[in-house]
């Protein structure tokens, strides 16, 4: 669990420049399919200051060994606060955790990421944190240290240290474990680049107490200097020799997107993927197939669909399953991830399509109850979410497919002020602002 949290801290570190969209990610909800509808299981909601924002990444790099690097393959997250919660059997959201980022006021660089959890009295108690240090000349991260809260003290747990080449490419990442008084070497990740600063291979080494020993190896083959990758070999050290364990083969289109791939384990086919992209190189659909050794062919297993807003930020990711009669259907293993964005905390939510249907809220301003009347242009399943003006997700639930929907929700527990109600359907979404008065 400590390692899992530490890697999360690594993946969420925004140390490199990027083009931030004007739409800020303010919420994420995961839902699972249960019998006839997707039901929310957990959510996260994000808060910002000083113009910061977050972007989600839906197309991972070819280089799996680079997941350990500061930016990882999940996106760039510059939040001040990240609350997480789960839904109980009554579909009430219970807050379970809080990540708090602290930034340097002069440089804007992230200095620490602290995780807290509520106690029985709902008081936030610090659990663990990651501290970051940088090179003053280049701005590159030099180390990140995870610590656990023990009583009133912070106790070291693990450290990553980084080295770079003159082009600022990461050449090594060394993980070390705290023994109570000093750091002990644990694992080293070494990266090799070509003249275009693309990774050609990477090496994973383990410390045997006196020296580094080769353990794992990734080799990337390409016809265009690793601008796109044709195949990836994953090898482990067996005795004095490298032994290939898995092989991935890619087919790239003229835009450099991997539209097909095949994965082999021990020389035997294991699975294959076919992928479609939009003009911004983001995945829009992917079919995942498993190898059937009896039929000697790949057979459909899962299908994934992504939707995006006008800024090419993902708004949904949904899976479906192949049934025995030859159709894509939803079953209890399928999931729906919904992303919510805010353009301006006082006016709009990004990705809104007001032509999707007609939404009425009344009375406005509301005091104790708010009525929701929604008419869709065509029947569809949808989710309903209430945000405050800081972008915090207050309520969220899912509804089955229909063309006409009415519901009354209590708002007596909401403080006086302005709020947003976002209804997001499978074929459209809309938003309305409402106010609560006392």
Residue 257 pLDDT > 70, yes or no? yes
Least confident of 113-117, 285-289, 337-341: 337-341
Number of domains the chain is built from: 2
Structural domain for 155, as ranges: 2-351
12 vs 237, higher pLDDT: 237
Say yes or no: 376 and 249 in one domain.
no
Given 321, 351, 381, which residue is the final one in a domain? 351
For position 17, what pLDDT does the model report? 34
Say yes or no: 331 and 357 in one domain.
no
For position 1, what pLDDT does the model report? 34
- Give the tens place of pLDDT for each residue, 129-160: 999 999 999 999 999 999 999 999 999 999 99
Percentage of the residues of the chain whose pLDDT score is greater than 90: 53
Given 351, 377, 398, which residue is the final one in a domain? 351
Least confident of 61-75, 190-204, 287-301: 61-75
CA distance 258 to 229: 8
CA distance 344 to 339: 16
User: What's the residue count for the chain?
Assistant: 438
Which CATH number do you get for residue 416? Answer: 2.60.40.2550
Say yes or no: 340 and 236 in one domain.
yes
Question: Do 95 and 84 form a contact (C-beta atoms < 8 A)?
Answer: yes
Say yes or no: 298 and 231 in one domain.
yes
Residue 182 pLDDT > 80, yes or no? yes
- The phi, psi pair for 66, rounded to 5°, reads -85, 0
Say yes or no: 170 and 229 in one domain.
yes
pLDDT band per the 50, 70, 90 thresholds, residue 272: very high
Say yes or no: 419 and 396 in one domain.
yes
Q: Name residues whose C-beta falls within 8 Å of residue 278's C-beta, 6 or more positions apart in sequence.
A: 284, 308, 312
Say yes or no: 228 and 90 in one domain.
yes
Say yes or no: 282 and 416 in one domain.
no
pLDDT band per the 50, 70, 90 thresholds, residue 10: very low
Mean model confidence pLDDT for the chain:
86
């Amino acid at each position: 669990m400590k390692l899992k949290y530490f890697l999360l801290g690594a993946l969420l570190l925004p140390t490199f420049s990027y083009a931030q969209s004007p739409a800020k990610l303010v919420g994420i909800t995961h839902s699972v399919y249960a019998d006839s509808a997707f039901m929310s299981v957990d959510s996260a909601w994000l808060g910002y200051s000083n113009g910061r924002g977050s972007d989600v990444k839906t197309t991972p790099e070819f280089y799996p060994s680079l997941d350990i690097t500061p930016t990882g393959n999940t996106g760039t997250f510059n939040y001040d606060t990240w609350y997480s919660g789960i839904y109980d059997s009554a579909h009430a959201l219970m807050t379970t955790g809080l990540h708090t980022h602290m930034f340097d006021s002069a440089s804007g660089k992230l200095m620490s990421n602290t995780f807290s959890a509520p106690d029985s009295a709902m008081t936030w108690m610090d659990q663990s944190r990651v501290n970051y240090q940088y090179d003053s000349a280049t701005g590159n991260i030099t180390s990140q240290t995870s610590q656990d809260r023990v009583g009133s003290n912070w106790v070291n747990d693990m450290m990553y240290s980084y080295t770079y080449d003159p082009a600022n490419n990461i050449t090594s990442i060394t993980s070390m474990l705290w023994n109570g008084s000093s750091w002990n070497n644990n694992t080293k990740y070494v990266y090799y680049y070509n003249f275009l600063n693309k990774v050609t291979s990477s090496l994973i080494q383990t410390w045997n107490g006196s020296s580094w020993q080769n353990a794992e190896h990734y080799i990337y083959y390409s016809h265009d200097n690793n601008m796109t990758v044709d195949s990836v070999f994953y090898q482990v050290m067996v005795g004095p020799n490298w032994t290939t364990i898995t092989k991935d083969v890619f087919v790239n289109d003229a835009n450099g997107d991997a539209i097909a791939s095949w994965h082999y384990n021990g020389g035997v086919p294991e699975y294959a993927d076919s992928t479609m992209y939009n003009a911004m190189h983001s995945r829009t659909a992917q079919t995942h197939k498993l190898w059937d050794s009896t039929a000697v062919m790949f057979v459909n297993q899962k299908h994934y669909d992504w939707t995006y807003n006008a800024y090419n930020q993902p708004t949904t990711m949904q899976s479906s399953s192949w049934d025995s009669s030859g159709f894509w259907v939803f079953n209890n293993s399928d999931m729906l991830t919904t992303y919510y964005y805010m353009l301006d905390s006082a006016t709009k939510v990004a990705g809104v399509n007001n032509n999707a249907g007609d939404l009425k809220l009344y009375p406005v301003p509301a005091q104790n109850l708010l009525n929701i009347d929604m008419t869709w242009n065509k029947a569809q399943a949808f989710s309903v979410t209430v945000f405050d003006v800081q972008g915090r997700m207050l309520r969220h639930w899912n509804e089955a497919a229909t063309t006409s929907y009415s519901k009354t929700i209590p708002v007596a527990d909401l403080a006086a002020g302005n709020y947003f109600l976002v209804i997001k359907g499978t074929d459209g979404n809309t938003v309305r602002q409402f106010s609560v008065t006392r």
